[in-house]
Amino acid sequence: MAVVTKAETPPRPPRSRRLLYRLRVLRHDPTAALGLILVVVLGYLVVAPLVAVLSDAFRLQYGDDVHAGQAAGEWTGYYLWRVFRSQISGLLFWQPLLNTLVVALGTVLFALVLGGGMAWLVTRTNVPGRKWLAGALVVPYMLPSWTFSLAWLTLFKNERAGGQVGFLQAQGVHTPDWLAYGALPIIVTLGLHYYPFVLLLVGNALRRIDAQLVDSARILGAPQRTVVRRIVIPLMLPALSSAVLLVVGRVLGTFGTPYVLGLPADFRVLSTGLFQSIRDRSTGVASVLATVIVVIGVVIVLADTRMTREHRRFVTVGGKGGMDRLSDLRRVRWPAFALGLVVFGVSVLVPVLTLLLSTVTRTPLDLSTFTLDYWLAERLPGAVGFPHGVFRGSELWAAAWNSLRIVGLASVICAVAGLLVGYVVVRGTAPRVAFFLRQVSFLPYLVPGIAFAAASLSLFAVARGPIPALYGTTFLLILVMAVTHLPYSSRSGIAAMTQLGREPEEAAQIAGAPWFQRMGRIIFPIQKGALVTGIVLPFISGLKELSIVVMLTTTGTELLTTLSIGLVDYGYTQLANAVVLVIALVSFTMTYLTQRLTKSSLASGLGG
């Protein structure tokens, strides 16, 4: 009969012995090694670019030594001075900043009113066709964000920028500059793209509000209006603030729309300013701008997490179903439905039909000039840079193949990396490695895509140590695209692995399976579904991606999106529209099919 009395702290073997033992264990368990590899790779791909762009902002670049009076490579405050205090800083920074703020604010208001209103309509009222409206009103988010700006140009373009004028101008109606270009059209088109975002977030929150909370207030004698003001709105605050901050974050990093609608009128925002600086090869200024965008992005996301955490303290989400009683709209039911239809029409039908019609008419939207030349013609007179229909020649196919290959590979890498991050985190053999991976794989979420692309350029434009210069290679595009989508895939990877737990792998281990067998026969097959969604979601969003790739593509690595923007630069409106339509069609079909097949909701793919 063994009876053990309370022992003091058990004796510990000497450190060297423990270390030897630990090494023996690690030799048999590749998780730690895998974790370390991921740490190094992610550290290099995520952290190093940010460090590089920061150091470029404070180091004198070649060619600027005469102006700055310092030797190239020295530490300098020259670029800070140039961006913030010099005579051209208004042009470089302050005006774009102001414009960005105006656009962000306007877009947020627009999206809030439209998205919030529609969210209320489809979740809280008995409007006819609720289900259908709920689905249809999300469609704008599945289209590339600058689809709307091209449609806008097709309708409102005036003669200022040269090239073909828009529909109204062709009809003899003069469209003033403020209507054709600049803040107003940018706000409207971005708002049309981002309102579904608000609709989804606010709609979810509305759906989750506990009916009992509202009922208690009613029973205590509060009139309807007070209930809304004192109960519903405060409960909605987290979702609202989240929606606001996220839309601001997106607008900050968006490139296509302000490029198409802003530049012809010299209306610059931070993202297009950054692009311009890089194109002008003023690396130092570009680095400062990128840093500023990164800082604003980080502040926004941190503010969002902070606010949601603050709010979580008092928001109680009841366990019992949400507010299932719907407001009866009575006589305005059908008018409300009509309103929903109008929003759908303006945000989906009008832009898409405008683009479609513009590609089959010589004079915009004038059906008497119907032609399929822009799609099919062997030769297009007058278009020197692209002398044939989009389906002819090799450009579209080459770009499509590039998109498919680059975005596809990036998505696969991203999904596998996300799952591996999840694996290492859940295995928990190395808690510190797991912590680092969690944080670093989330980091790109804080950084607007265009700034991250600029940062990657800083790092990879020149050879560093054993790593050659990667600018202009498909490899760089794949890497950057994979890294920017990593936050979503690693989150879903962690979620999937957490749900699975360690036991299935441990059971295989006990059954005698070595590591590769466990991965190949157990982990990956079980996670097949998660892996497929992990590939498809980044793929769809990557296909529409412009901000990230616009600075990284070169002649050989043209993608569908950059091809379209290139055609806009040439002034070939119809051709550009045709390419965007192709992208929109592909991305919409894929999103729709994915939702159908995997029953995943678009909300989980909001990464796009």
Partner 1 sequence: MPAITLTGVAKSYGGGEHAVRNLDLTVPDGAFMCLLGPSGCGKTTTLRMIAGLEQPTAGTIAVGDRVLDSVERGLYVPPEKRGMGLVFQNYALWPHLSVRDNVEFGLRMRKVPAVERRARAEAALKMVHVDAAMDRYPSQLSGGQQQRVALARMLAVNPSVLLLDEPLSNLDARLRLEMRAELKRIHEESGATIVFVTHDQLEALTMATDVAVMNEGELQQVAAPMDMYDRPANRFVAEFVGSPPMAIVDVGPSPAGLAGSLLRFAESRVPGSLEGAQCSPTAVGIRPEALRLGPPPGATWCEEAVVEAVLPAGSSWTVRLRVLDTELYAVSYTPVEAAPGDVVTCWTERMHLFGADGARLSAWDGAASPAKGAVA
Smallest CA-to-CA distance from 349 within 95, 589, 140 is with: 140
Least Å distance, CB 594 to partner 1, is 21
Residue 362: count of CB within 10 angstroms of its CB: 14
Tell me: does residue 4 bind partner 1 (CB under 8 A). yes
Residues 483-502 that bind partner 1 (CB under 8 A): 501
Whichever of 157 and 518 has its CB closer to partner 1, that residue is 518
Least Å distance, CB 499 to partner 1, is 11
Give CA–CA dist 511/398, Å, rounded: 49
Total interface residues for partner 1 by CB under 8 A = 41
Give CA–CA dist 319/538, Å, rounded: 33
Cα separations in angstroms, 519 against 15, 33, 36, 215, 426:
33, 15, 18, 52, 14
Q: Is 221 left (phi over 0), alpha (psi -120 to 50) or beta?
A: left
Contacting residue, 3, 71, 219, 367, with partner 1 by CB under 8 A: 3
Chain centroid offset of residue 178 CA: 28
Continuous H helices in 428-502? 431-442, 449-460, 474-500
Half-sphere exposure of 411 (CA within 13 A, CB side): 23
Whichever of 2 and 66 has its CB closer to partner 1, that residue is 2
Give CA–CA dist 591/113, Å, rounded: 26
Whichever of 292 and 508 has its CB closer to partner 1, that residue is 508
Least Å distance, CB 514 to partner 1, is 6
Least Å distance, CB 429 to partner 1, is 9
Tell me: does residue 2 bind partner 1 (CB under 8 A). yes
Residues 69-108 that bind partner 1 (CB under 8 A): none
Least Å distance, CB 501 to partner 1, is 8
Residues 504-523 that bind partner 1 (CB under 8 A): 504, 506-514, 517, 521-522
Give CA–CA dist 357/182, Å, rounded: 24
Least Å distance, CB 9 to partner 1, is 8
Whichever of 405 and 438 has its CB closer to partner 1, that residue is 438
Tokens standing for 117?
Answer: 């209103």
Whichever of 112 and 522 has its CB closer to partner 1, that residue is 522
Least Å distance, CB 532 to partner 1, is 14
Give CA–CA dist 578/562, Å, rounded: 13
Whichever of 244 and 522 has its CB closer to partner 1, that residue is 522
Tell me: does residue 13 bind partner 1 (CB under 8 A). yes
Single-letter residue type at 16: S
Contacting residue, 202, 520, 526, 582, with partner 1 by CB under 8 A: 526
Least Å distance, CB 521 to partner 1, is 8
Task: Specify the stretch interacting with partner 1 by CB under 8 A; choose among 6-14, 62-70, 176-184, 279-287.
Answer: 6-14
Tell me: does residue 20 bind partner 1 (CB under 8 A). yes
Least Å distance, CB 11 to partner 1, is 7
Whichever of 163 and 525 has its CB closer to partner 1, that residue is 525
Give CA–CA dist 412/571, Å, rounded: 35
Cα separations in angstroms, 429 against 22, 399, 501:
11, 44, 14
Contact of 255 with 547, CB cutoff 8 Å: yes
DSSP string covering 574-600, please?
Answer: HHHHHHHHHHHHHHHHHHHHHHHHH--
Least Å distance, CB 31 to partner 1, is 12
Contact of 308 with 93, CB cutoff 8 Å: no
Tell me: does residue 28 bind partner 1 (CB under 8 A). yes
The three-state (H, E, C) secondary structure of 313-344, written as one string: CCCCCCCCCECCCCECCHHHHHHHHHHHHHHH
Backbone torsions φ then ψ of 24, nearest 5 degrees: -60, -40
Contact mark string toward partner 1, 429..448, x via CB under 8 A: --x-----------------
Tell me: does residue 528 bind partner 1 (CB under 8 A). yes
Least Å distance, CB 531 to partner 1, is 12
Whichever of 2 and 384 has its CB closer to partner 1, that residue is 2
Least Å distance, CB 511 to partner 1, is 4
Contact of 379 with 387, CB cutoff 8 Å: yes
Least Å distance, CB 513 to partner 1, is 5
Whichever of 22 and 67 has its CB closer to partner 1, that residue is 22
Smallest CA-to-CA distance from 271 within 457, 77, 93 is with: 93
Give CA–CA dist 268/259, Å, rounded: 8
Tell me: does residue 25 bind partner 1 (CB under 8 A). yes
Tell me: does residue 503 bind partner 1 (CB under 8 A). yes
Least Å distance, CB 426 to partner 1, is 14
Contacting residue, 1, 71, 219, 220, with partner 1 by CB under 8 A: 1
Whichever of 31 and 587 has its CB closer to partner 1, that residue is 31
Backbone torsions φ then ψ of 88, nearest 5 degrees: -95, 5
Task: Specify the stretch interacting with partner 1 by CB under 8 A; choose among 3-11, 205-213, 283-291, 542-550.
Answer: 3-11
Chain centroid offset of residue 561 CA: 15
Residues 149-188 that bind partner 1 (CB under 8 A): none
Give CA–CA dist 482/542, Å, rounded: 9
Task: Specify the stretch interacting with partner 1 by CB under 8 A; choose among 17-25, 342-350, 405-413, 534-542.
Answer: 17-25
Whichever of 172 and 512 has its CB closer to partner 1, that residue is 512
Torsion angle in degrees (nearest 10) through CA of 479, 484, 489, 495: 130
Contact of 480 with 53, CB cutoff 8 Å: no
Contact of 582 with 396, CB cutoff 8 Å: yes
> Which class for 357: exposed (0-12), middle (13-18), buried (19 or more C-beta within 10 A)?
middle
Given the rule CB under 8 A, which residues bind partner 1?
1-7, 9-13, 17-18, 20-25, 28-29, 431, 501, 503-504, 506-514, 517, 521-522, 525-526, 528
